Structure 1
Amino acid sequence: MATVAETRALFRRADAVCFDVDSTVIREEGIDELAKFCGVGDAVTEMTRKAMGGSVSFTTALSERLSIIKCSREQVNKLITDHPPQLTAGIKELVEKLHQRNVKVFLISGGFRCIVEHVASQLDIPFHHVYANRLKFYFNGEYAGFDESQPTAESGGKGKVIGLLKERYGFKNVVMIGDGATDLEACPPASAFIGFGGNVVRQQVKEKASWYVTSFDELIQELEKI
């Protein structure tokens, strides 16, 4: 495992930085918010906790949670309108700093593209830099499942996306930042992983991350050293 000093150095010279979204870039877990909105919050929150702790496979957890929620297209749109995702303090400034340095920024999420695109637009991240799951709906707007062909729909999916990005863009140095087990798993192929505990602390991630931060200000200050 890389040391803290090595991880800091890799972050300062990254070609690309990939962020998890739920409980990292935004303060909440999108799927939990959707479940609450649809009146099945408690059942889904427990399943999310297991998935993020790494005790059940991500695909199983996603499928089971969605089969409980069964959200319609109208409910998803209303959630985004009535309860838009709340950005974590400091993320806007951090992304701006990375963009100023010509570092490519990507959002890689096990959440839903319709919600993650809303977040991306607030951070000036192009939609083709968004990797997330797609909900499927019948013509009448009722829930019809999710697109299982997306890499983010499977365990180890975030690592697959990073491998794909390295291949496509020729990135040598990709840093992954996130709060959960699925983010930790993405290194390798990510060159470095930074654990984020500003919204929720997951003990397994805190123990295994070579650099663990609780505020994006720590990352902003690291970039200002150069």
Structure 2
Amino acid sequence: MQHSAQQQPTLEQCRTCVHSTRMTALQTRYDVEINMQPGSLYQAHRRPGFAVFDMDSTLIQQEVIDELARAVGLYDKVAAITEAAMRGEAPYTDFEASLRARVALLKGVETSIWEQLKAQTITFTPGAKELVRVLKKLGWKTAVLSGGFTPLAMWVKETLGLDYAHANHLVSDDGLNILTGELVPGAPIVHAQRKRELLLQLAAENSIPIERTIAVGDGSNDLLMMGAAGLGIAFNAKPKVQQAAPVRLNSGNLLDVMHILGYSAEEVNALRKEP
């Protein structure tokens, strides 16, 4: 049965229904994951839109700042801060403060670390390349909005063929070829609010209605952009993020985002085969 636009549930009502006690029990009993969205939104995503992605643990499988920390023997300390910040736990609910604290620990890391990470450490999430390729075939614009750092965000952009990349800028000493442990003064910090602002700004610049945007991420600092997008998708996210996000996707393959957008396996396979 189809409902009129006035009768359709809101995305928040859909989320509340999915997380209700009865629905949670049903999903647990049959080992399934149920997502719901208004029919009008489901239809909107059949038209070209704008997709924004977090980078760390979304487009790529690593947390970059943790990998940088290995270079100075501070992995455990930095990783603990990263995990707490991603879960939105005090005292690291202030992303900028936690970012500056972690970056300060990276003082003295050689700038050659970026090429080392690209060659030896960073791996793309299965399906990331295919998802971007399929979205581009359908006419979508794409972006990575990362609380990480520009050297890798720009590389991810170029490798995947994304349209935009925004991340944080680290200061380096070009004479010594090392990181100074500082962020570039005056450069915008890509925190949760900034991600939301960039989503809205880039969508407007491309004349894409907000209902035809999606935001995909895994951390608490992605929730604002998820909430601002036409559809926010928590991908293999922390429990608190899954509970708060409009839609969750626990999958080994990022290409499964296409099913959330309403595309069947046959349609996705056909798009993958097109030149």
TM-score interval (norm. to shorter): 0.7 to 0.9
Q: How does 1:80-119 map to 2 (within 5 A)?
A: 80-83=118-121, 85-119=122-156
* TM-score w.r.t. length of structure 2: 0.73
Q: Which residue among 174, 178, 201 is the counterpart of 1:142?
A: 178
**1:35 pairs with one of 59, 69, 73:** 69
User: 1:207, 1:47 → 2: CA distance?
Assistant: 22
Alpha-carbon shift at residue 155 of structure 1 (Å): 4.3
1:108-158 per-position Cα deviation (integer Å, ceiling 9, x unaligned): 1001111122222221224xx011111111232222312254444344121
The amino acid that maps onto 1:224 is Y
Aligned partners of 1:15 and 1:104 also within 8 Å: yes
**Aligned match for 2:214, one of 152, 175, 181:** 175
**Post-superposition offset of 1:188:** 3.9
- Asked whether the 8 Å contact 2:226–2:245 carries over to 1, the reply is no
**Aligned equivalents of 1:151 and 1:174: distance in 2?**
23
State the match for 1:77 in structure 2. Answer: 115
Q: Where in structure 2 are there 5+ consecutive unaligned residues?
A: 1-9, 15-35, 268-275
Q: Highest CA radius of gyration, 1 or 2?
A: 2
Corresponding residue of 1:206: 242
Change in CA separation of 1:76 and 1:171 when aligned onto 2, cut-off 3 Å = same
Q: Which of 175, 200, 224 does residue 185 from structure 1 map onto? A: 224
| Unpaired segments ≥5 residues, structure 1 | none
Higher relative contact order (Cα pairs below 8 Å, separated by 6+ residues):
1
Q: Distance in 2 between matches of 1:218 and 1:75?
A: 32
Distance 1:202 1:122, change over 3 A: same
CA distance in 1, matches of 2:54, 2:153: 10
Query: RMSD in angstroms over aligned alpha carbons?
Result: 2.1
| Separation in structure 2 between the aligned mates of residue 50 and residue 124 of structure 1, nearest angstrom | 32
Code of the residue aligned with 1:204 in structure 2: it is K
TM-score under structure 1 length normalisation: 0.87
